Amino acid sequence: MSGVKLDELNKTISKQLKESEERSARFVQAFVGSIKGALLSGKDISLAGFGSFSLATADGKPLPAVAKADIENDLAKRLSESNATRIQSMMDGLLEVIKSEILNGRSIELDDIGALELRREKPKIEKQAKGHRLIKPASTTLSFTCPQPIVTPAGQAKPLFSPADGFKKRVEQSRESTILLVMPERDYFTKTLEYYFENAGWDIETMTSVEEAIKRVESGKAYLVIMDAVLPDHQKFAQRLKFRGETSNVPLIALWPNEQAWKVLKEVAIVGDENLAQPFEFRQLLDYADSEIMRAAEEELIFRQQINIHIPTDEQSIEKVIDMVHQLVDLSGITEEGQVALCAAFREAVVNAAQHGNKYRRDKKIEVQYLLDAEKITAVVKDQGQGFDHKMYTSRGASKDAVTAARERHAQGRMGGLGILLMLRCTDHLEYNAAGNQLTLTKHLKGAPKEA
């Protein structure tokens, strides 16, 4: 969150007050001086429509105020201004600028007194009396931080700030807590979902059009999307949600019409972070929603992008997913050399999964997970084959005679390992799971040293 001193906002303040920049600068200086003077004198301060300052001991116990400060009168004296209405109007205008800047995410520094800023609190789970869990939405509060204690007639103290009711309400509403339902229609099931989440304090929006859902998710903050995969163009929405950096980490729960539609895909599909096939228990969906909101809250500072893609085992789908990953890598910030290397390794991994893992059987799928954080790209490729003993290939891949050994295996009609050698050379880290049917490729964005 960016911090700014009031004198840095002089142009904005001047426009709001309808005064010259010189006069508005004098007013800001007088205002900050008046606040600071009142606190140093041990006085409480009340600013209509904005909030109140008080004093407390180092351990947070309130200090009795010497008196209540008369900020308007003090400003009049500092500015040699006799028109009380003018002083009040200018102060109201200044406070509106401060409120607007805070609500727009800026930290406002009041000289060396302290800073006012929004504080975001993550969603949390609350247990109800009957044992049910209930996710409470993310909340926003106004924080006042003081770098060091001030010396008052009563001794050292720290200033506290409490926003006025109207300002507090605007603060609480400054970050939307929305769950988006993308459904074919607003039926009984959808209304039941709406009722549950509304009771937990969430704002719920239901969209029955993919185009409208895309507009909504791109114009505001959704904390969770529940999407019915029977909707036409549902993949268009899923791709827009997950490919955009701003919305990629919004958890997506996909509802599939049946187990077959989920297990055997007809085309490349961006799937949910969680997926449910009909029929399922309503409570199961709610549990998934709770878990996904909490997971996203924990991981939002780690991952910049998270995408799950499932593909049927055929050449057209393989080429399509390779093209999708090319697009993602191109937007990641990795060097051009790193892009070429990672995409070559990814192609090899997907082709191997189709050929050696799934044996090009259309009733089997390949799962791809793409993860981007501040330091690296991770691509996970999983097939539905039996796996293989990969340890020999990966260990030999690092040796100087790996190419010779691979050629010998090819001559014997066995799996050669040249592809593994290529992937080892093109990534910073390569790892198979124990079974050998899942491969994780890692490439650092800025060419970090290879892992041992």
Indicate the domain borders of the chain: 3-172, 176-290, 302-452
> By mean pLDDT, which of 105-109, 124-128, 242-246 is the weakest?
124-128
pLDDT of residue 327: 93
pLDDT of residue 235: 94
* Res. 346 pLDDT band, cuts 50 70 90: very high
> For the domain bounded by 176-290, which CATH number is listed?
3.40.50.2300
> 307 pairs with which residues across the strands?
370
pLDDT of residue 384: 92
The mean pLDDT of 254-261, rounded to a whole number, is 90
* Res. 312 pLDDT band, cuts 50 70 90: very high
Q: Which CATH number fits domain 3-172: 4.10.520.10, 3.30.70.1520, 3.40.190.10, 2.40.50.100?
A: 4.10.520.10
- What are the φ and ψ backbone dihedral angles of 134, each rounded to 5 degrees? -140, 120
CB 271 within 8 A of CB 254: yes
pLDDT of residue 409: 45
pLDDT at 450 over 90: no
Q: How many beta carbons lie within 10 A of that of residue 12, not counting itself?
A: 14
* The dihedral sign for the CA sequence 11, 13, 15, 21: negative
**Residue ranges of E strands in 21-138:** 45-47, 51-56, 107-110, 114-121, 124-127, 133-136
Q: Is 296 exposed, middle or buried (0-12, 13-18, 19+ CB in 10 A)?
A: buried
Q: Do domains 176-290 and 302-452 have the same CATH topology?
A: no
For 307, the 3-state DSSP assignment is: strand
More confident residue, 420 or 14: 14
In CATH, 302-452 is 3.30.565.10: yes
* Res. 155 pLDDT band, cuts 50 70 90: confident
First-residue to last-residue Cα distance in the chain: 38
Q: Which two tokens stand for residue 250?
A: 């919004």
CB 234 within 8 A of CB 228: yes
Tens-digit pLDDT profile for residues 37-79: 999 999 999 999 999 999 988 777 888 767 899 999 999 999 9
Mean pLDDT of the chain: 85
85-99, 132-146, 279-293, 405-419: which is most confident: 85-99
> Among 363, 356, 382, which Cα is nearest to 441's?
382
Q: Give dist(CA 181, CA 189) in Å, integer.
A: 11
